[in-house]
Structures are given as structure tokens and as C-alpha cells.
Structure 1
Amino acid sequence: MSARGRVGAVLSRVGALAVIVAVVGSLPWLSGRDAALSVLRARSAEQEPTPEALASVRRELGLDAGPAGLFGDWLGGVLRGDLGRSWVSGADVLPSVLTGLGVSLTLMGAALVVALLVAGALCARTVVRGARGTLRGGPGGGVAAALAALPEFLLATVLLIVVSVWLGWLPPYGWHGPRHLVLPALALGVPAGAVLGRLVDDALPAALRERWVGLWRSSGCAPRVIASAALRRVLPPLLPQIGLVAVGLTGGAVAVETVFAVPGIGRAALGAAESQDLPVLQASVLALVFLGVVSGLPAAVARRRLLGPGLRDAALSLPAPVAVTTGRAGRVVPLVCAVVPAVVICWGLLLEPLRLDVASRLAGPSWAHPLGADSLGRDVLARVGHGAGATLGVAAVVCLCSYVLAMVLGFLPGLAAGVAETANAVPPVIAGILVAAVLGPGTVGASIAVALVSWPPLAAHAAALVQETRAAAYVTALRAIGSPPSWILLRHVLPAVAGPVARHAVLRLPGIALALASLGFLGLGAQPPAPEWGLMLAESLPYVERAPLAALAPAAMLLMLAALAVSLSTLSGWGGTGSGLFGALRRRRPIVEGVGA
């Protein structure tokens, strides 16, 4: 990378961070709520909110200084290490944030260890056989893709039900010792490790078929030496993407901490958003962004050390991936994952999702309630069927909006670069928390949050295709014979871009639905009594011992949705070096570089 390119990259990242800080600092003004009224009610529910009392609170908090003054006071306090006082408890924010940050760092560290172990296990077969010269065909990747497709909140729920409730091996909630760390670390680390393993496992076969490997093997080099050199060959180009996976741990930590009642910074941010405790929310979001930035730094440092001083500025690329063939099982899985939910949804649509049958509360499966009833006596099958509209229908609208925005910005790559950098810096859960603080929790806010982080990969794909099409020989010939630029754009460039980007957007549809479900699970999306799958799962967790099907039914639908995302990614040929895997999954960090050019 040239010096100008490095300066541009640094400025882009600084600009992205500045935008996030500006949004966080302006939350009291952006929320549109009377902050003085919120503070007054938090301090004393009985006190009358008279104009005099509200004015006194505004003077105390500095809210009468206006948006600019309020932001300046907040930013100055942050630079001095003063994060303010909680509007709910009145306590200093900094000690509680540091405590939560320590818990989250411990959890993320344990999750990173799990991720490395999982990645090593998934790559072991390819490394050993490739170093010995016995590798046949391309990478497998089926197990890795399936694990990577699991949202953290869904895996955490399954682990809670199976390991804690049914088997009783580990404690389900709390933070009182090493035993309480195991399940949260597994829920957070297994999907991340699967992504890391898939990235490396996809790149290794091609590297192990390069000429230098055969030369080293014929010279008598030990397999471990060849394996080490092959890993060194493929890791530098992958480390930026691995860094994005590490950044994505911050978003997943919010859901995992909520499921297992871990007192980390993510759970604190979610609770502050729900109670409108904006000082705690501001500090928690800043801490999460800080974690994301710090998580990505080791990958950059490791890449520089692996490349050495001679190649640090080189645009090192991966070897061409080995083609992966899809067997019969790989074609049956998407069919099953599409047909079974379709049958369940159609059956459920014939039933009433809001009808209360008090006598059947938490009842098991029966002719009247094929999947049982929830804690209020509502039919689970009916709510699963009607929940498809709240989950898949909204996801389709969000996907369409992301596609339109990506098509517009794809023709303006210079304008979109900085905005895309900002969107890539924010995991969907953090975006959901910020939007909920401004608009309040609900379907509209969740849709906006997911849309804000869904368009950059589509825009990068569109920009790459626009550049490729404009450089084509026939387009150059059309310009040479005097064809109008608008005619070339509408008749040749736009059709060549719209189709592939639309197929890319369809691949992302299951991932967007999973993102919306995760926000619903955290209470940031659809609100009761809406039959939304993520919300249904959250409502059923407290009663999972008595009515497991009420939680397992929406969980099964989401699992099949994740499996469908992986199957579509594989069948469409987007899985070569890992970018297609990211293209199909909803909450992994979007990879802008090299998407479907």
C-alpha cells in the first residue's frame, strides 16, 4: 500500500470512529425524549414533574446548554475520565463500566481460546494430509459452515437448554467462578472459531498444491516444516478478515451475556437502553467500540510480522481456491430447510396466534395444540406460523432497501467509502442499541439498525462490477463510436450490475432475518404480543424446563434458516475463500474487499 493509501485508510477509520463518537455523545438530544423528565421519574416516581422541578434537573445535568454545549461537556468529561453519573441510580458511571469491561474482556479472552481450538480442529485434517502429500479434492467445510451460521444467541440458548437444564452439567446463569464461564465462552467462541477454521481450510488446499511444496517434499523436508510454511503462506492475506471476526465478538457478547446473565458491558448497554439511562448507555457503547478496535489490532500486528519488512506494503493475495463439488446431501439440505418451514408456516397460519387458552398454559403437544402452548396459553404452532411474517417479511423489505441503496452507492464508490467504513465498524447489535435509544425498541428501529449494516458488502460488489463493466472492451468501443454515456449506463452497465447484485442480496436474506431475530430476542425489535421468532424464544426461556417445545420450535426455525443460508452460499458458488461464507451469514463482519468482483 502506498503512503497515500495508508493515510487514506487511517483517515477513513478515524472518520468512522468520529461519527460513532458523535452519535453516542448526541444521544440525549437524538432520543427526542425529555431527559429531565426521565431523571426526575428515576429519582422519585411520586414527585410532580412541574416546570420548576424539570428546569432544576436540566440545570443540574447541563441539559439547558443545547445540543452543541451538551456534546462538548460530555466529550470533555470523557477526555478527563469523567463519564458522568447514572440517571437511574445516581452512582458514578466509570466504576461500573470498568467492572463490566473486565468481565467482558475475560469472556472474550476465553472465547478467543475456544475459537482457536475449534479452528485448529477444523483445519487439522487438511494441514496433516496436505503436508504429507495425501490430500485429495478440495476442502470439506460443511461442519465449519454449519457452525459458523449459528447466531450466538441461538447457540447460547441450545447450550442452556441441553447442557444446563436437561443434563445439569454446568450452571445456567451467573458469574461466580470458572464453571460459569464455560457455556458463555463456548457460545461465543464456537461460531467465531468455525469462521476462522473455514477461512484457513478453504485457502490451504490451493497453497499446498503450489510448486514449492512439491520441491520441498522431494528435498526431504519434514511434514511439520511444510505445514508451518503453508500456514505462513495463507495467513497474511486472511488476517484482515480474521481481525473482523475478532471485532464481531463484541456484538455477539451482548447476546451471550444476556442469555447467561453475565454482568458484562454488553448486558449493561442493553439494560441502559431499555431504561433510558443515557450516561450508562453512552459509556457502555464507547467501551464496546473500544473493545472492537482493540480486538482488530493484534491481527494487523501479526500480519506485519508474518510478512516481514520486505512485503509489508505488498498486496499479497491468496492462491486460487480449489473447486468444491456439492454432493446429493448438499442439495437435499436446502430443500429440507425450505420445505419443512413452509409446511409449518402454512399450518400455523390457519390458527389464531393471540387466542388465550388459560387452561393450556405451558401444556405439551396435543391435538388442540400440536406444538404445545406458551406461558399465556397461546398456541405455539400458530405463533410460529404468523411469526414468519414478522421475521421473514420484514427481512425481505430490509433486503430490498439495502439492495437499492447499494446500487446507488455502487456507482459512487468515493462517496460510499467512508460511510461503508463506519457501517463496518458497528456490529448489528450495537447498531440496534443505538437506534433503540433514539427511536425506542420496535420493528421499525430494528429494521433500520440491520439495514444500516447490511448494505456495504452489496455496495462493494456493485462498485466492483461497475468498474469491471466500464473497463470492458465493448464499452470502450461504444464510447469510441460516440454512444451517449446515459445510453451506455442504462443499456449496458446497469443490466450487468443489477442481476448479480440482486442474487447476492437474495443470499443475504436468511442472514438479515437472523439479525432481526437476534434483536427481537434482546428486546430491541418486535414487542409483545407480536409473534416474532426471536421474541418468542426470549419469552419462552424462563419456562424452558416445563415447556421446552415453546422455546425449541422458534429455535428450530432459526436453525433451519441458518442451514439454508449456508446451503445457498455453497450451491451458488460463493464459498471459495470465505467471502461467500460471510455473504450468507447475518452477523459476521461484512467483508468489503474482494466481494464477488
Structure 2
Amino acid sequence: MTTGFETAPVSRRDWLLSDRPTSRMQARLGRAYMIWLRFSANRLALAGLGLILALILVAIFADVLAPFDPVQGDLRNARLLPPGTGSYLLGTDDQGRDILSRLIHGSRLTLAVVGLVAVIAAPLGLLVGTVAGYAGGWVDAVLMRITDIFLAFPKLVLALAFVAALGPGIENAILAIAITSWPPYARMARAETLGVRHSDYIAAVRLMGASPFRIVLRHVMPMCLSSLIVRVTLDMAGIILTAAGLGFLGLGAQPPSPEWGAMIASGRRFILDQWWVATMPGIAILLVSLGFNLLGDGLRDALDPREAGR
């Protein structure tokens, strides 16, 4: 016997898309699900995500996927072999090393560079920007003038100066790129902070007795994270190109490390006859940079609150 008051079971999708969430967790999961729906509707963004996931998997399983040693080569029998010769799918370089194996192991260096630069530069820029925007006055003026000094120099030129002072090496290259990458994040965070510091939400938190440090850390910074994530993702391609430029000039990863920029530098002597030595790492840089750009564009559209109602 039924009473007539039973309700149909709510599907997981309806529960996530409910406009009246019953808990904070449901609201967060629903927002994340809506972001994923907008992101997955962009096929180019999915292609970029696929490229980046492929890069991560290749880097994780490099020891399994690489058919040859990336450092040791057969200088006597395998020097400058064209692609498709025997087991060398992408050919060999002037030291008889398999280019495919070097590209696979070089993906680890690429991920290390972009990951460490993002971990260092993004939080630093976020901290500087939010503090400057919320404090205002002379604090804002001093921090923004320092930011302007860094922005006045081209990123690669400034990175070259820092690496020249610190010395060549992948660790110093990462530090130099991170030092030159934080100013745009600071500018963006400051603009976001100026838009919310006088809002009723921040005023209510201030009236409850929260300190300026807590307001910036717990309430202002989280509101800048969406824009920061998008900006960092879009900047990954520039970070990769800067690292490759330092490697090309001999200031990044040192031989025999399989860094893609250094591989292009070693192959420029054979660019006319043995074109594959420099072309293959160039294609790898192109694909990874394209993947990050497509992913960043998709995240920008998915995280844009103006897209939520469309």
C-alpha cells in the first residue's frame, strides 16, 4: 500500500546540478561538475588535456617506454641515422644516441621545469598582488614599482642575466625563470583584490574581527585562484620556450642531459642534411606548448563566471 507521498529517487546528475544544495560539499561538487561540463564541451580543450596527460604518462614511464639509453650511444655504428632505420624510429644524433629515447626522458625535465616554476612563481605573485591590493598606500606603491621594474625587461633577457649570475645548470635555470615569471601574476592578483576589498563580504569579515592577514589569506586569495590557474596554464608554453632558449644557449641543462632546447642546439650544425636531429625536439616543444595553450583556453572558458548562464 502506498501513501502517494513517495518521491522518485534523485539521480547523481540531478543531485550535483541542484540549485538548492543541502550542504557545502554538495555545492562544491556541483560547481566542479558544472565546470567539467563546460570544459568537456570544448573539443580543443580536451585535445590539449590529452596532450598534457600523455606527456605526464610518458614522463612517469620513461624508463619503460624508452627503447635505448638516452645518454649512451653507439658512436661507431649508429651515428646520424635517419628516422626509420632499424629500431631507431626518429633517428639518431651525432653521438649515436636514439632521439626518441632522449625525447622521452627529456619530458621529465620539461615537467620538472614547468612544475617547479609554477610552484615558485604563482604563489609569490599571488602573495605580492593580494597584499598590495588590500593594503594600498605606500605598500601598494612599493610592491608595484618593484613589479614594474621586472616587467620592464623581456623575460628571456632577464632570465639570461640571472643565469649568468648564478651559473649554468637546470636548477639555476628554473630559479631564474621563476624569478622572472611572478610579476604578471602579481598584477592580476592586485586587480582582482582591488575589485573585492571594498565588497560587503570583506566588510562583514572585517567587522567580525578578522585580521588583515587572515582576510588576505582566507578570503581574498581564494577568490583569485580561478584566474591564477588559467594564467599559469597559459604561461606554461612561454615557460617551456624560455627553458628551451636557455638550454639552446648552453645555460640550462648541461650535456649529456636530454633537454629539448639543448638537443636543438646540438642539431643545428646538421640542420640541412640531418634535419631530424633538431626537428624532432622542436616538434616535441611545439606539441607540448600547443597542449598547454589549448588547455588554458578551455579552463578560461570553463572557469569564467560569465559563461555559467549561457
Check whether TM > 0.5. Answer: yes
- Structure with greater contact order relative to length (CA < 8 Å, sep ≥ 6): 2
400, 405, 415: which is aligned to 2:142? 415
Query: Hey, what's the Cα distance between the residues in 2 that align with 1:474 and 1:347?
Result: 47
In the alignment, structure 1 segments of 5+ residues that lack a partner are: 1-324, 575-597
Whether the aligned pair in 1 keeps the contact of 2:264 and 2:278 (CA below 8 Å) is yes
Does residue 529 of the first structure (1) align with residue 256 of the second (2)? yes
Give the superposition deviation at 1:375: 0.4
Question: Matches of residues 207-226 of structure 1 in structure 2 within 5 Å?
Answer: none
Counterpart residue number, 1:455 = 182
Structure 1 residues 348 and 357, CA gap change in structure 2 (3 angstroms): farther
2:48 is aligned with 1:334: yes
Work out the CA distance in 2 between the residues paired with 1:485 and 1:432.
34
> For residues 63-85 of structure 1, what are the alpha-carbon distances to aligned partners after superposition, in whole Å with 9 as ceiling and x for unaligned?
xxxxxxxxxxxxxxxxxxxxxxx
Deviations 1:237-262 (A, max 9, x none): xxxxxxxxxxxxxxxxxxxxxxxxxx
Aligned to 2:17: none
Separation in 1, partners of 2:226, 2:296: 17
Match of 2:153, SS state, is coil
In 2 relative to 1, CA 348–360 (structure 1 residues): closer, same or farther, beyond 3 Å? Answer: farther
Give the drift of 1:549.
2.3
Distance change (3 Å), C-alpha of 1:503 and 1:433: closer
Aligned partner of 2:202 among 475, 494, 499: 475
Aligned pairs for 1:39-58 (under 5 A) are none
Which of 87, 108, 117 lines up with 1:389 in the alignment?
Answer: 108
The match for 1:126 is none
What is the letter of the counterpart of residue 468 of structure 1?
G
**Are 2:83 and 1:356 equivalent residues in the alignment?**
no
Structure 1 equivalent of residue 279 of structure 2: 552
1:399 equivalent in alignment to 2:118: yes
Shift of 1:433: 3.0
> CA 1:347–1:451 in 2, change beyond 3 Å: closer, same or farther?
closer
* Pairs within 5 Å for 1:516-595: 516-573=243-300
Change over 3 Å in CA distance of 1:347–1:481 after alignment to 2 = closer
TM-score under structure 1 normalisation?
A: 0.39
Whole-angstrom CA distance in 1 between matches of 2:119 and 2:228: 11
SS of match in other structure, 1:370? coil
Q: 1:339 offset after TM fit, Å?
A: 5.5
Correspondence list, 1:11-410, <5 A? 330-331=44-45, 333-335=47-49, 337-338=51-52, 341=55, 345=59, 348-350=62-64, 351=66, 352-358=69-75, 359-364=77-82, 365-410=84-129
Once the two structures are superposed, residues 387-444 of structure 1 have per-residue CA deviations (whole angstroms, 9 ceiling, x without a partner) of 1122221221012110121122111333321221111121123223322432232223
Query: Shift of the alpha carbon at 1:487?
Result: 4.1
Mapped to 1, the partners of 2:52 and 2:205 lie a distance apart of 44
Instruction: Provide the secondary structure at the position in 2 that maps to 1:560.
Output: helix
Amino acid of the structure 2 residue aligned with 1:388:
S
Residues 368/327 of structure 1: CA separation in 2 closer, same or farther (3 Å cut): same
Q: Note closer, same or farther for the CA distance 1:331–1:397 as it changes in structure 2 (3 Å cut).
A: closer
The CA distance in 1 between the partners of 2:174 and 2:114, in whole Å, is 8
1:31-89, Cα deviation, whole Å (9 max, x unpaired): xxxxxxxxxxxxxxxxxxxxxxxxxxxxxxxxxxxxxxxxxxxxxxxxxxxxxxxxxxx
Question: Quick check: 1:517–1:535 contact (8 Å CA) kept in 2?
Answer: yes
The gaps in structure 2 that reach 5 residues or longer are 1-38, 133-139, 302-310
Cα distance in 1 for residues equivalent to 2:198 and 2:142: 20
Matched-pair contact (CA < 8 Å) for 1:428–1:449: no
> 1:556: Cα distance to partner?
0.8
After superposition, the CA RMSD in angstroms is 2.8
CA–CA separation in structure 1 for the residues paired with 2:57 and 2:208: 56
C-alpha separation between the residues in 1 aligned to 2:175 and 2:117? Answer: 8
**CA apart distance, 1:328:** 5.8
Distance 2:287 2:299 in 1: 18
SS in 2 for 1:458: helix
